[in-house]
Amino acid sequence: MKAIGALAITLALTSGCALVETPDFMQNQLHNQYFEKTTYADPNAYYIGEWTAATGIGLVAIKINPNGNIKMCASNEHFGIGDGKVFKENETIKMIFDAGTQYEIRSLEDEYLLITSYGQEYKHYINQVPERCKEIFSKFETLADTALHPHTL
């Protein structure tokens, strides 16, 4: 069930209001490289934080931790949560989620983080996290802190 929820969120992030089934999208899911990509950690990166975009299913939030791990959450509980990570490919900062879909972190604009995927641009606004996701993100923060400092267990 978690995998279905993650896939639904991934579809929402890549679709806006219409389902995007580009060859790259389908190939990334079919040949999921989530475990092959090495997590890239940059504790001072501009993209660290909590970001939210409006999509076809409602609000979708991502939390990017300094250790490079990502939690994705939809405001609509029927679409679940997902895991992801930041990785670097040819000096480009990207994200990959457990469903295999990939995104490029393009830039930090005045009010939003610009992310592209499969030919579309998405604006993710800082600190606009839906209530449902705040608790999920707080638990994720604890897990991320433990991963960075395992001696605190």
Per-residue pLDDT tens digits of the chain, which is 153 residues long: 454 444 444 544 544 434 456 788 899 899 999 999 999 999 999 999 999 999 888 899 999 999 999 999 999 888 889 999 999 999 999 999 999 999 999 999 988 999 998 888 999 999 899 999 998 999 886 555 544 433 333
Range of the domain at 65: 2-147
As a whole number of angstroms, the longest Cα–Cα distance in the chain is 46
Predicted local confidence at residue 54, as pLDDT: 92
User: For residue 42, is it within any domain?
Assistant: yes
Percent composition of the chain: helix, strand, coil (DSSP 3-state, to 5): 30, 35, 35
Structure tokens at 56: 């076809």
Q: How many residues does the chain have?
A: 153
In a domain, 152, yes or no: no
Number of separate domains in the chain:
1
17: Cβ contacts below 8 Å, ≥ 6 apart = 55, 56
* 116 occurs within a structural domain: yes
pLDDT one-digit tens code per residue, 113-128? 999 988 889 999 998 9
CATH of the domain at 82: 2.40.128.500
Residue 153 lies in a domain: no
